Structure 1
Amino acid sequence: NWKNRIKTTSEYPLEESHQVQTCIDTAMHCMEPERNNRPTIAEVLDILNRTETHIPKRQMAAVLPCPTIGLKSDSNMLEVMVAELNNNEHGYCNSMPTDSSNRTVQQIADRETSSVVEEVIIGRTEEKQKILSILSESITEKMIILPIYGIGGIGKTTLAQLIFNDPQFQDYTRVWIYVSQEFNLNKIGNSIITQLTDKISNIPTKQMLHKCLEELFASRSILVVVDDLWEENPKEFHKLKVMLGLGLGSKVIIVTTRDGGLARKICSPAVTPYKLETLRVDECWTIIKQKADFEGRVDQEQLEHIGREIATKCGGVPLAAQSLGYMLNGMTSDDWESVRDSYIWNLSTSEGHEVLASLLLSYSQMSAWLKLCFSYCAIFPKGYIIVKYDLIYQWIALGFIKQSRIFDFMQLSENYVTQLLGMSFLQYSKRPLRGRNQEKDGTLFTMHDLVHDLAKEILSHQLNTGGNKCRYALLTDCSKSLQLFVNFPANIKALRFQDCGGQELCGSAFSSAKCLSVLDLSECFINELPDCIGQLKQLRFLRAPDIRLEIPNCITELSELNYLNLRGSSEISALPVSI
């Protein structure tokens, strides 16, 4: 038996026998007929953690491999949590799932996907009124800078959007700048000019930039939101203030940031930075009930206590409550208990881990096909405004939409979008697109930073890596050969370029990616589409706006192409006859 085998093969028979016996006893306890007599997952973890051994630490890895919880730095907390989740899902990776890994698709019409649907904002009405009052009292200042700060996922951007769209500023010219970790004054200035003129701006020098902004700011009242600021250099703050202060018009500047110290440094002397506090447990529970359709359930009394316990795990963060609430919709009471007791809550003890745990729980409940669609969104940079149907056609082009006898690809894609919106993995964008990416009637999405971090971590082995597993590339130079950035270009399935408006597209930037299915050139300067485009025989999605010359006839050789976007290419009089 197993005891004899341990005695004859192990260097530490007593210790290992004790551990195995503990596991057997715990497993038998888990099979109790009465559910209330079974231990929870948390209790099982406690039992295993209390298992004492005298095996030297250098030998432990060979005996009892386990994750190290709460010992990692904040910088790689998400990496550890995602890796542990993948281990518990039997090594799931971002490859095509098999049919057996899929759940039954929910009925398409179950949930509303219209962009006019607005989420009820819980617990932030008072904060909005306080900030509007502060701004009203300081409106006589030529420029007022009011930072809003708080932990990630707490609702800073949502609150800024409420103020941005408030009637109090209906006579203001409004500009929204997304910054994140990349602080680039030239990029910020050009973004403001693009939004104020509806024309792409790529002014290269500070002097020309300031001159243009001074003219545009003249005699205007302007509301500017600087969203997700991370920069800590006081000199850069000063340069930003100088740039925003150009012109004679009055300015109201709202800054969102996670850093309280940064907020105090950039704040105007006349006001105090506004700290956004976490929600109360009751408010988190209200969000969960709203998202989970709690009022429509017959087992409310049974779920009330479990739900409130789940709400306490949200850490007062609205994003966590929204994600969990949607996931709980339609789940049984046993499922609710499993969520409450999930091992994922114990994967880290760092500050803010609750929201990451809630996002991981929601991700773990996705079908394998939905996981592909979600993680692919990491190919867009943080803060990017995603056009709904561009995203859907990219999913279809890459084969991420499971075939069905009942629903077509578009219906299934709409369902996936609905699920991601419900979990807050996608959010409706209240910011309009400007310049060449402008969509008059399109539905627009954004991703929260923390959600984007999760998608990027999941896709980390396939996005912008040097190895042969790299399948997706987001590059910032379309004037050079793809082979300078990617070691195995033939393996690339999707390629897009970012901030390349000042560079003319060259054919070698994509021609070596022979298996390309998605090519997005929307942020490139395209004088003429290179002839080598005809070599991409597997290309199914091509977005190439503002082409200045006629498109080559070789585009007719793209037999697999089913999405072509040439918006703004006014010089194109007609498409090739045989396309």
Structure 2
Amino acid sequence: MTELVLFSIAESLIAKLASQAYEETSQVLGLYHHLQEFTQTLSLVKAVLLDAEEKQQQNYELQEWLRQVKHVFSDAENVLDEFECETLRKEVVQAHGSATTKVAHFFSTSNPLVFRYRLAQHIKKIKKRLDKVAADRHKFGLETTDIDRRVVHRRDMTYSYVVDSDVIGRNHDKENIIRLLVQQNPNNNDKSLSVISIVGIPGLGKTTLAKIVFNDRRIHELFQLKMWVCVSNDFNIKQVVIKILNSNKDSAHQQNLDMVDMEQLQSQLRNKLASKKFLLVLDDVWNEDLVKWVELRDLIQVDATGSKILVTTRSHVTASMMGTVPSYILEGLSLEDSLSLFVKWAFKEEEKRNSYLVNIGKEIVKKCNGVPLAVRTLGSLLFSKDNREEWEFVRDNEIWNSMKSESGMFAALKLSFDQMPSNLRRCFALFNLYPCGHAFDSFDVTSLWGALGFLPSPNRNQILKHGANQYLCELFSRSFLQDFVDYGIGFGFKIHDLVHDIARYLGRDSIMVRYPFVFRPEERYVQHLSFPENVEVENFPIHKFVSVRTILFPTSGVGANSEVFLLKCTSRCKRLRFLDLSDSMYEALPPYIGKLKHLRYLSLENNNNLKRLPDSLCNLLKLEVLILSGCSELLTLPNGLRKLISLQHLEITTKLRVLPEDEIANLSSLRILRIEFCNNVESLFEGIKLPTLKVLCIANCQSLKSLPLDIEHFPELETLLVDNCDVLEFSKEHNNQNSNLRLKIVNFISLPQLVTLPHWLQGSKDTLQYLLISSCNNLVGLPEWLSAMTCLKTLCVTSCPNMLSLPDGIHRLTTLERLEIDGYPESLQHLTIDEPEEVKEEVEELE
């Protein structure tokens, strides 16, 4: 994979070397001349990388040359990182060090004289290697191309629900499936569970068809309970049951049931399904083991009269094994429907469509054999491009002949990937580290990208997620991402199995560890390791992966749980940027962790045994994200938090009664703060200023009584989430409309003391865009002043049973795009809305 993104790495290195910070520091250390020469040679190599990438497929020597370039670039990144670390260390010593500390610093290995000599030697060695590969470039007759002209014409993201009008050519299939769901089971008088299987090749639209059926009004009226579960590769009975139990809950309220035994789970399942006529969708099933299926079916079959299971699968064996009626075989789209779908994705609605381009499009569509994902991917690739050569390039590309996979699907995806900018390729290829069918959270993915330096550096008024969300938009525009859910402070999404295959095809410097594992010598250059399964990692030869930068445990409930593994990670893996130790059971961390000077991301989430952290943790001057949420036994936080001058995102769970607020307030880069399950804390931020904070999340703090919020103490705050704080009353002394907070996103969830919205929210009338209120049982209504919000786009009020009214002036919310008020039609009977039209339609549906 890295051989395909070297251009992006070269750009990143050159940008760093050209920055004012590098120039000033290199002059102070006497390294300016060395770095200038290095930059010049780097520019020569960069100039031929795009052509080398295009020509490498058929040239083994060129592939080997690119591998050498990769190793040089990797070592160069590490050296420049050391350069940055020394700059940060100097800042910390000057800002927080005593005279004794400063003297010790002079005599340490970080002494500027020692450091300058050592770094100069490293740079000379790397420059010598770079000179050699630069000279070797002439062997291959490479052309100079200094600008990556591959761009993406982005579309806006959409929500996960599917609107019938957006699905082309599937109305007949939809009606057939609904007919099967409505009819009684002919074999047994509808007394037992009926199972209907939709089967077809990847990319054909099985999941999309199941969605439009699932969301049809007739189905909603027919079944008391509807559940959707994505099964994918791992047909683990316990995990499927957990997914069923969580299927009707939003992400904020899903239970962590991994530690609950199967006896309790099956009891909860029976209680959920008892006396209800239900529809369960099992999406993307791969299992062909009859014993496993029968075991699951018997658990689900509780008073099953009229209940149905709808299965989507690519396997005819699976469909036949599970189905109680003949399988529904999904066919490809007709040429006419395929062309309509292509045109929808390739042209803007208002565009005058060039008939010549449409004719080329028809020839491209024929190669897709009616597979909607292939059609949509290539339509996205050509979106708003009016150059006929670009269309002909896609139509005539030799990849159609070289990749004979299912119905041209793999070729279509590879074509789209080949047209991605180099920086976007780096991000996309890391999807290889997650198991097939994984439900992604944008925070997890973008944190990984940020830790590895794949994102543009944010400016003073941004946080990393802004650049990351731009990348997600670009990937979405290529149809590489699907099932987007916007929950205000982030996104949930998935990727299609075939898209995952492309990432796996590209991820040659990544390993998803499966057992038994056999180490091969060439793998010592692998940079990313993922452990998706509960395996005994103590025998894994982590010390042999000298270049590893990522250690990831992506599956919920799966952690490292090996002291040997942890010791090897912290003492041997000196180049780590991203270390995920979530869901582990360590009582303490070794002090060696403070030596991981390159580390940007450290997660200790849900380490339920962790009691203390070493103070050496505060030596991680490059650390940008520290996750301590779910560490329910953590007695204290390490001394010296203020030294973490790069820290942007901090999550805390602790037994402390009083947080070290002075230390937190001195985190000069802090943008995101989450305080969760701090059940001994009664008040927060009395008189403390957090001048750089943009996102504040307070969750599950059962003793918290006060949370003063005003512009003086939170001048940059944009996002506020408060969840499950039983005794919290927003401080009355701040209940005035002159607080002038400039909030954009507000979530209030499970707040029993919330009767109406706090007055200080009025100060955000010109900025608030997203307001979610959920499970606030004593909320009686929304205030009239809410109608004065000039920018509000999303208003969601869910599970608030005592809400009596909406503001009379809600029709003045002309910017509103999304209104969700569920389960309380009687409170809306007298509501009249003249505009906007989409709000009126949504309320009419509720009535």
TM-score normalised to structure 1 length: 0.73
Q: Mark the CA change 1:201 to 1:84 in structure 2 (over 3 Å): closer, same or farther.
A: farther
Residue 152 (structure 1) shift: 0.6
**1:323 pairs with 2:377:** yes
Q: Mark the CA change 1:247 to 1:487 in structure 2 (over 3 Å): closer, same or farther.
A: farther
* Contact 1:479–1:503, Cα closer than 8 Å, also in 2: no
Q: Mark the CA change 1:379 to 1:248 in structure 2 (over 3 Å): closer, same or farther.
A: same
Structure 1 residues 444-488: Cα deviation after superposition (integer angstroms, max 9, x where no partner):
110100000110111034324731122111114678556615452
State the distance in 1 between where 2:339 and 2:576 align: 46
Q: Which runs of 5+ in 1 are unaligned?
A: 1-82, 433-438
**1:561 pairs with 2:623:** yes
Residue 172 (structure 1) shift: 4.0
In structure 1, the partner of 2:498 is 450
Alignment of 1:159-558 (within 5 A): 159-167=209-217, 168-169=219-220, 172-195=224-247, 198-202=254-258, 207=263, 209-246=265-302, 251-268=307-324, 271-293=325-347, 296-297=350-351, 300-331=354-385, 332-350=387-405, 352-402=406-456, 410-429=465-484, 441-464=489-512, 466=519, 467-476=523-532, 481=537, 484-486=540-542, 488-499=544-555, 501=557, 505-507=561-563, 508-509=565-566, 510-511=569-570, 512-522=572-582, 524-526=583-585, 528=587, 530-532=589-591, 533-548=593-608, 552=613, 553-558=615-620
Residue 568 (structure 1) shift: 4.6
In structure 1, the partner of 2:38 is none
SS of residue in 2 equivalent to 1:224: strand
* Contact 1:483–1:489, Cα closer than 8 Å, also in 2: no
Residue 323 (structure 1) shift: 0.7
* Contact 2:347–2:353, Cα closer than 8 Å, also in 1: no
In structure 2, the partner of 1:152 is 202
Q: Mark the CA change 1:482 to 1:247 in structure 2 (over 3 Å): closer, same or farther.
A: farther
Residue 306 (structure 1) shift: 0.6
Residue 305 (structure 1) shift: 1.2
Alignment of 1:102-113 (within 5 A): 102-103=148-149, 111-113=155-157
* Contact 1:193–1:201, Cα closer than 8 Å, also in 2: no
Q: Which runs of 5+ in 2 are unaligned?
A: 1-52, 75-143, 514-518, 633-652, 668-847
* Contact 2:534–2:558, Cα closer than 8 Å, also in 1: no
* Contact 1:287–1:322, Cα closer than 8 Å, also in 2: yes
Q: Mark the CA change 1:169 to 1:469 in structure 2 (over 3 Å): closer, same or farther.
A: farther
Q: Which has the larger radius of gyration?
A: 2
SS of residue in 2 equivalent to 1:100: coil
Residue 186 (structure 1) shift: 3.1
State the distance in 2 between where 1:112 and 1:561 align: 32
Q: Which amino acid letter does the alignment assign opposite residue 185 of structure 1?
A: I
Structure 1 residues 325-362: Cα deviation after superposition (integer angstroms, max 9, x where no partner):
01112331111011100000001445x14011100100
State the distance in 1 between where 2:445 and 2:554 align: 16
Decide which moves more: 170-179 or 451-460. 170-179
1 or 2 for the larger relative contact order (CA 8 Å, sep ≥6)? Answer: 1
Residue 514 (structure 1) shift: 2.7
SS of residue in 2 equivalent to 1:131: helix
Q: Which amino acid letter does the alignment assign opposite residue 326 of structure 2?
A: T
Decide which moves more: 446-455 or 461-470. 461-470
SS of residue in 1 equivalent to 2:230: strand
* Contact 1:534–1:554, Cα closer than 8 Å, also in 2: yes
TM-score normalised to structure 2 length: 0.51
State the distance in 1 between where 2:292 and 2:470 align: 44
Structure 1 residues 109-154: Cα deviation after superposition (integer angstroms, max 9, x where no partner):
x532354796722222332232122212238544221111111100
Q: Mark the CA change 1:182 to 1:575 in structure 2 (over 3 Å): closer, same or farther.
A: farther
Q: Which amino acid letter does the alignment assign opposite residue 122 of structure 1?
A: I
SS of residue in 1 equivalent to 2:606: coil
**1:124 pairs with 2:170:** yes
State the distance in 2 between where 1:211 and 1:295 align: 52
* Contact 1:531–1:554, Cα closer than 8 Å, also in 2: no
State the distance in 2 between where 1:381 and 1:504 align: 17
* Contact 1:287–1:321, Cα closer than 8 Å, also in 2: yes
Q: Which amino acid letter does the alignment assign opposite residue 289 of structure 2?
A: N
Structure 1 residues 173-210: Cα deviation after superposition (integer angstroms, max 9, x where no partner):
44333333333223323333454783222368655553
Q: Which amino acid letter does the alignment assign opposite residue 346 of structure 1?
A: N
State the distance in 2 between where 1:166 and 1:427 align: 20
In structure 2, the partner of 1:24 is none
* Contact 1:147–1:266, Cα closer than 8 Å, also in 2: yes
* Contact 1:186–1:204, Cα closer than 8 Å, also in 2: no
SS of residue in 2 equivalent to 1:179: strand
Structure 1 residues 87-115: Cα deviation after superposition (integer angstroms, max 9, x where no partner):
069647795799936337668xx532354
State the distance in 1 between where 2:436 and 2:453 align: 24
Residue 372 (structure 1) shift: 0.7
Structure 1 residues 373-408: Cα deviation after superposition (integer angstroms, max 9, x where no partner):
111111111111111133223212111235699997
* Contact 1:478–1:497, Cα closer than 8 Å, also in 2: no
SS of residue in 1 equivalent to 2:557: strand
State the distance in 1 between where 2:180 and 2:262 align: 33
Residue 260 (structure 1) shift: 2.4
State the distance in 1 between where 2:542 and 2:585 align: 22
State the distance in 1 between where 2:313 and 2:401 align: 27
State the distance in 1 between where 2:461 and 2:546 align: 33
Q: Mark the CA change 1:291 to 1:482 in structure 2 (over 3 Å): closer, same or farther.
A: farther
